[in-house]
Amino acid sequence: MDFVLGLLGGMLAWAIAETILRPLRRFLALRMEAATVLEVYERWTPWADRGAPAADWQAERSLAYRRCAADLLTFAASGWGLPTLLSRLKVDMPDAGFALLELSYLGHDSPERRRAREDVLRGLRLRDIELHA
């Protein structure tokens, strides 16, 4: 009897891990990736002393945003389970993904960047950290 209960408990733990914990871990990783991409490409300016961003840096930035947007949109489109629960908790992954996609097309000097960045932060329920010099 103990063996059967142990087996059932193990199967239940596995089912919980697969349906809740693995998607939660994936969501947290995507959220961190989006925050990292925003931090690297929106706040840091490695070309500040040279005037305008280099074309290869802009291409790298655009590709990073598009990959992150695709990951967020794909996860959100998976449909059931955690993405549905997250939407009820006011986490808007599609909005964040589309805002990242929009950022990928905006130039670094575009006035629309701030709004798109705020849309990503709001969609993933991230706080923007103000850095003080």
| Residue pLDDT, tens place only, 35-72 | 999 988 887 766 655 666 777 888 899 999 999 999 99
Q: What is the domain range of residue 87?
A: 27-123
Whether 18 is covered by a domain: the verdict is no
User: Comparing C-alpha atoms, which of 90, 94, 100 is closest to residue 36?
Assistant: 100
Whether 4 is covered by a domain: the verdict is no
Whether 11 is covered by a domain: the verdict is no
Whether 15 is covered by a domain: the verdict is no
Whether 87 is covered by a domain: the verdict is yes
**Residue-wise DSSP of 13-51:** HHHHIIIIIHHHHHHHHHHHHHHHHHIIIII--TTGGGS
Rg (CA), the chain: 19
Looking at the 3D structure of the chain, how many domains does it have? Answer: 1
Whether 12 is covered by a domain: the verdict is no
Model pTM score: 0.79
